[in-house]
Structure formats: C-alpha cells, structure tokens
Amino acid sequence: MKNIKIKTIKIHILFVLLFLAAFAAAAEDNPFLSAYNTPFDVPPFDKIKVEHYLPALKQGIVQQQAEIRAIAANPEPPSFANTVEALDNSGALLRAVENVFNAMRSADTNDRLQAVAREVSPLITRNRDDMFLNEKLFQRVKAVYAQKDLLNLTEAQQTILDEYYTNFVRGGANLTPDNKDRLRKINEELAVLSLKFADNVLAEDNRFQLVLEQQNDLAGLPRWVVDEASQAAAGRGLTGKWVFTLAKTSLIPFLQFSEKRHLREKIFNAYITRCNHGDSLDNKAILTRIVSLRIDKAKLLGYGNFAEFMVERNMAKTPTNVYDLLYKLWKPALAAAKNEAAALQELIDKEGGKFKLQPWDWWFYSEKLRKSRYSLDDDVVRPYFKLENVRDGAFQVANKLYGLKFIEKIDIPKYHPDARVFEVQEADGSHVGILYTDYFPRPTKQSGAWAGALRRALRKDNKKVTPVITNNGNFTKPTVDRPALLNFDEVKTLFHEFGHGLNSLLSQSSFNRPYTPRDFSELPSQIMENWALDPEVLKLYARHYQTGELIPQELIDKMKKATLFNKGFDAVEYLAASILDMDWHTLNELTGPDKFDVEKFEADSMNKIGMIPEIVVRYRSPYFSHIFRGGYSAGYYGYTWSEVLDADAFEAFKETSLFDPKTALAFRKNILEKGGSADAMVLYIRFRGAPPKIEPLLKRNGFN
C-alpha cells in the first residue's frame, strides 16, 4: 500500500511538472503570458495572433479564480487591504487580455475572433458570477463594509468599498441558492445573445451595397463622393462602377446630395431595416429574449423593471427622473422639428415636387435649405477640415488647457495600418500615456465612434501604471487625389471621442475598477465639442488643405449662424431613441417573447410621443446596438443628462476665458482625474460651485 501511495504521489508530481512545463511553453509562444518588452509596454500587436486570445483568457480566469479562493479563505480578520483591495487587484492577466481582445473585436474583427468571443464570453460571465456569488467572499466584504465608519478610509477608498458592496448585492449575493443558479443562467444567456446581436448588425452592415453602373445615377453627387464610391467599388472588384454602403460616411453624403430620389429611398430603407428581414440576421427574437431575461434579472434582484436596476447607480437615480428630463426637452425639440419639416415641404413645393416630404428626403432638402439660407456649402467647408489638422486642433486645445503634448511614434506596434500612435506628455516632458487613433471605416470594424482602453491608468503606492488609450471613428476616407476631409459633424465627433481619451489619460484612480455613472461619463467628451467650433479654436487648426489659408472669418460667421439649423431634427432623432430605450427597459413583463411584435411596440412608443413621420428614430430596435449589445441599456439618455452638465460647465469657461488656467485646472482636478473616486454630483459641485442648471442647454439648442 505504501508503495502504491508513493507511486501515486510521483505520478501527481509528474503531472504537475508536465502542466507547468506546458504552461511555460505556452507562455513562451503566447505574448500575453510573458512580458511585452515593447515601448511603453503597449500590447505587442506584431506578435499577437487570434490563436493567442483563448488560452490567455482561460489562463486569466484560472488565475483570478485562485486569487478569489485565497481571499475568501484568508484566516486573518477581514480588512480593507486583505479583502477589498485584494479583490480589486485580482484578475490582472484576465483584465489585460480582455482589454485588448474587446478592442480588437470592435476595431478589427474577423470570423475567428468572433468564434473566440462566443466561446469565452460565457466563461467570463461565469467567472464574474463566481466572484459575486461567493458567499465567503461576500461575508468578508460585508464585514469591512459594516465597520467602514471606523476605518479612517480616504474618500476614494470609501467610494470603492461602497461600490464593491453594492456590486455584490446587485450581483445576487443575497439571493437564495436556487435564485443564484437562475441568475447565473440568465447572465450567461445574456452574454451570448448580446454577442449574436452585435455580430448580426456587423454582418448586415457588410451585406448591403448599392452598386451604380450608370453615370447619370451620380447626378448631384460632389466629386469627392463619387471618387470615394469608385474607390470602394475597386476594393470590391467592381472597377468602373460606384459602390455606396451603409457606413455613415457613405450613406449620409449620398442622402445629402443624390438627386435620384428612388436611390435615396433604397439606401435609406436598407439602413433602417437592418436585422429586420426575417432571415438568419434578424435580431427581433434576440432582442425580445434579451428584454425578457433582463426583466427576470431585475425582478430576481428586487426591482420592478430593468431600468430601475440600471438607473439606480446613475446621477438620475430613477426612471421617472430620466423621463422628466427627456420630456422637458422633447416638447420644444418636436416643435422645432415640425417647423423644419414645414420649411422643407415648402421648398419641395416651390421646386414643383409633387410629393410629401419623406425621411429619405430630409438630408437632401435640408442641405439645399442650408445653402440658400446661409450660403453655406458642404464642399466649401470640408477643405478646411483635413482630418490631420482637426486632430492636431484637438491636441492644441488639450495643450492650451492642460499643457499636454502629443508626439507621434513610429516605432510602436500597431494593430492595423490605419492606426496612428502618439505619446502624451505633460508640459514638463513627463510621460502621461499612449494614444492610438484609428479613424477610417472598414468591413472588420463596427460602425460609429468610440474611445477605449488597452490599459487603464492606475496610481498606487506612489507608482503609476500609465494608460494606453484608443480613439476610434468611421470618418470620410481619403481618395486618390484628396486627403480625408471632414464635415462638421465628424469634426465634433473627433473632438468628442478625444474628450473621452483625455479623461482616461488623465485619470488618477487608485483602483482597477472605479465606477463612473453612465450619465456623468459623457461630460468630459461632450464639453470638448464646445471648443471645436469656437472662432478662436478654428483659427488654430482650420486651414485649407491645398492653400494652407486659415478659414476666413466670413465662413466662420456663416457656420456660427447655422449652428441652430436642423437642431430640431437632431434632437428629435436622438431623444426618440432615448425614450425608446427607456420604454423597452421599463417593461415589467414581456408576454410571449418569441412572438412579441417588436415593430408594433416601437410604433406605439413613437406614437405616444407624437413622433412625426418625416423623421425616423435614430436607432430602430433591431440594430440598436448601444442598448442590446453595448453598455447603454436604460442609459442612452445619458448623453442628454451629460449635455446638461457640459453646457453648464462650459459656462464656467465663458464666464472667464476659453482657456482660463484656473478653470481648466479645476476641471482637470475635479472631473478628469477624479471620476469614480467620489459621488458624481459631489465632484461636479466641487468644480462648478453649484449643481448644474438646464437653462444653458436650452439656450444653446435654441429651445428657450
């Protein structure tokens, strides 16, 4: 018997040694499992392959599970350091790999990467549930929370302790064993469904193309639009033809300028019916299942609906407060949109058009009206907004406000040739972080614009882990004889995402998982848009791409006069989407989700608020990725809440000067650096001296 035991032990030791050897070999081949050895420790994109993600993610899960078990089984009495801080530090490998993996899924995906996501997403969800449903771990966190007033914690420590305790409760720690099992199943299914929803939207975006073969079908389109369509066709093997896609940089110019009304209708309808064709890419059954599961989850956790569950953590606190804000803006926005629609119909009638204004006509006739009212031509404006100049203009604003410098680096690994890399430095030359910019559309990239983090900033024990941040967009691409020239919406979008980037670059968080309320997180981005059109800032960056001439004051004056043009349309399109989001997530039951009539629900939602037929909600439900794939469920309103904040906050600069050092320092220290370290309203009041007022937003939008 003794020999058998010895033999068994030897076999076990051999197995462990073989496992360690295998892991060491994997680490040698897998760049995620060893030191990066790259400049500024950025991910080694020149070495990372698709096959590296899954084993690295799985290893990250294994490591975090071991760390969690150790924290839960710690024989020492629970303390902030050995429980909350240890918990926050857990999962370093998983966090590092996830950051890169999620960034690539958005910016440069493929079938193999999507397959990895489908396999690993339930594992990551299960791992998170294992943490928040761990009874021993929760009891330790609960013990620390119970004595929080006696621990002499800093404000940031107090905030993160509150956050973790809340996350455990919201994660189901107080549920019965049976309900914990039910919650696990809900979370895993939601993770899979959200991925499927997103994959379908991307596939649908790539499936449609409007191929034009006749020169007369290009009537009205500017030369640069035609050139880009020709370039798109050549890239698809259709040389000699012209291709228009559902990417906004292709869709919107076509709707603005094409004189072929039937073609405008065709591409517009293709856009608004995405994932709604009753085929394999149809998202209606998926989204109703998501809504149904979210209702179940909310009720399991003691809430009436999912919106109550989500909004509770935000500045708004309750769905009622969200609706109150949205309706307060909806009435004047709808009135403005009706006036705009009437003006467009008048123009149609004046030209002899014998038809009623339709949604696919709006861009075309509003462009005409803008030209006639303000002598403002898109083709005259674009040459002053070369993408590189706009980007450098945003950099200059950050320099004037915060002393930051942006130095392009060509020796740093990039994940795609379109990406550019910049080192960010303080005024004294000290390193702040790395910024990747990636501005052009491609089939492997999700639509829209966003900011992300390949590594988040962390300051602890007088040491700082510097951030690696991304800014992504889908802006107008360069053509053979023209650089990338932006319209003003794209200019604002670039400044917006750069604001998110600044927030991440300047963060001084002491913890890995600080929480910033969704309706506060857009403040740093939206306030940056205020600088984009300011005459003083335009003189910094708006130069004609051919002559180098600064944008003339006459053109600035025209642009300023036109700032309120089409504001009703913009506001109605967005507010309607925010209300639709809230309507989905304030449901307290969903009878027969498999047969639920999504289109009727959406129509009822729009009819309830008096939506006019000339405008379509910004995102129809089957492709509303913000709420069914992203993190904006019951939170799309957050842009409006943050607009209230940013309009009020920018008043502080207007009261002094555009680049007032004292105001800029207060904004940096209280907002950009401190997100997640204290209550959001407390932080705002520290900056502004008072709660935000809605009047500056109403005034800015011309609704007062």
The residues near 505 (Cβ < 8 Å, ≥ 6 apart) are 404, 424, 432, 433, 435, 457, 467, 469
Give the C-alpha separation, 500 to 503, whole Å: 5
Task: Quickly count: other Cβ atoms within 10 Å of residue 631's Cβ.
Answer: 11
Q: Return the structure tokens found at 19.
A: 């496992």
Paired tokens of 679: 């209550």
Exposure b/e, 668-699, CB count within 10 A at least 16 = b? bebbbbbbbbeebeebbeebbeeebebebbbe
The token pair at 64 is 């975090």
**pLDDT at 28 (0 to 100):** 63
Whether 422 and 501 have beta carbons less than 8 Å apart is answered as no
Q: What is the DSSP letter of 81?
A: I
- 345 backbone φψ class: left, alpha, beta (φ>0; ψ -120 to 50): alpha
Q: What is the pLDDT of residue 17?
A: 45
Q: Helices 284-300 & 567-585, crossing angle to 10 degrees?
A: 60
Burial 231-244 (b: 16+ CB within 10 A, else e): ebbeeeebeebbbb
CA of residue 388 relative to chain centroid, distance:
22
Q: What are phi and psi of 92, to 5 degrees?
A: -60, -45
CA dihedral of 210, 212, 218, 221, whole degrees rounded to 10:
40
Question: Rounded to a whole number, what is the largest CA-CA distance in the chain?
Answer: 102
The C-alpha angle 607, 610, 615, rounded to 5 degrees, equals: 90
What number of CA atoms fall less than 13 Å from residue 288's CA on the CB side? Answer: 18
Candidate list 367, 490, 497, 643, residue with the active-site label? 497
What's residue 377's pLDDT? 84
- Residue pair 403/659 in contact (Cβ under 8 Å)? The answer is no
Sorted by where each starts, the structural domains of the chain and their CATH numbers stand as 32-174 (1.20.1050.40), 208-272 (no CATH), 383-567+638-700 (1.10.1370.40)
CA distance 410 to 182: 51
Contact 436, 419 (CB under 8 A): yes
Q: What is the pLDDT of residue 27?
A: 55
Instruction: Single out the residue of 161, 375, 361, 139 nearest to residue 259, CA to CA.
Output: 361
Indicate the length of the chain as a whole number. Answer: 704
CA distances to 93, 124, 459 from 67, in Å: 12, 15, 21
pLDDT at 10: 47
DSSP reduced 3-state for 623: helix
Low-confidence ranges of the chain (pLDDT < 70): 1-28, 593
CA–centroid distance for 161 within its chain: 26
The whole-angstrom separation of Cα 584 and Cα 292 is 10
CA distance 523 to 517: 11
Is 67 part of the annotated catalytic residue set? no
Per-residue model confidence (pLDDT) at position 593: 63
Cβ atoms 227, 479 nearer than 8 A: yes
Gap between the Cα atoms of 482 and 231, Å rounded: 12
